[in-house]
Structure 1
Amino acid sequence: MNKRLMVIGFGTLTFRLHECQGLKEKRKIIKSIIARSRNSFNAAIAEVDFNDMHQRAKIGFALVGNDRRTINSQMDKLYDFICRLELAEVTDMETEIHNI
């Protein structure tokens, strides 16, 4: 029997939102980042921390595929895409890739 490989890449991105004056403004920016990333990368993505802080945010994301190099490349492209949006400063990124 041929065993198939599933690869899961996941991680977090932490942001600093310098100009945000309130939570409503922050949520608008984060929702835009999330929606645009989902549309471009078909990634599972959500805000996961700093929900009550108006100048910080953390999103978590996950990508699934069958090739480790492809998932790693997609995570790099997702990071670059979010940075190029210039909606918020990315201050940290943590990632992991697991074969299942």
Structure 2
Amino acid sequence: MHVVMLMLRLRLTSRTLKEKRSIVKSVLTRARNRFNVACTEAGLNDQPEDAELAFVTLSQSASHARAQLQELERWLLVERPDVEVTEMLVEEL
């Protein structure tokens, strides 16, 4: 079994933590439902314009897990044009 993690650092259009929470919650919920991944806000909790999100998936094949997380990143770029990906890290655990 292979565990692969995708860490994304995002630049958001939010000005307050309440606006940020709304954007992050929407992204995480949709990602869970569409890609069946575990996900959370992993850092930058007190910065309204930045977010760090972690997505994790399991698969029999490491290449399949990586492909699924790359598809998640592409989906995010298309689905949420108000969110800019500033850093990305894919890591096998």
Same topology, TM > 0.5: yes
Percent identity over the alignment is 33
- 1:32 match: 26
1:9 is the counterpart of 2:4: yes
Q: What are structure 2's unaligned runs of at least 5 residues?
A: none
Deviation for aligned residue 1:38: 0.4
CA distance in 2, matches of 1:87, 1:58: 15
- 2:38 match: 44
- 1:23 match: 17
- Normalised to the residue count of structure 2, the TM-score between the two structures is 0.93
CA distance in 1, matches of 2:63, 2:46: 36
- Normalised to the residue count of structure 1, the TM-score between the two structures is 0.87
Deviation for aligned residue 1:11: 2.4
Alignment size in residue pairs: 92
8 Å Cα contact 2:8-2:54 kept in structure 1: yes
1:96 is the counterpart of 2:91: yes
Cα deviation 1:21-73 (Å, max 9, x = unaligned): 10000000000000010001100000010100000000011000101221111
Amino acid at match of 1:53: Q
- 2:59 match: 65
1:56 is the counterpart of 2:50: yes
Q: What are structure 1's unaligned runs of at least 5 residues?
A: 1-5
8 Å Cα contact 1:33-1:87 kept in structure 2: no
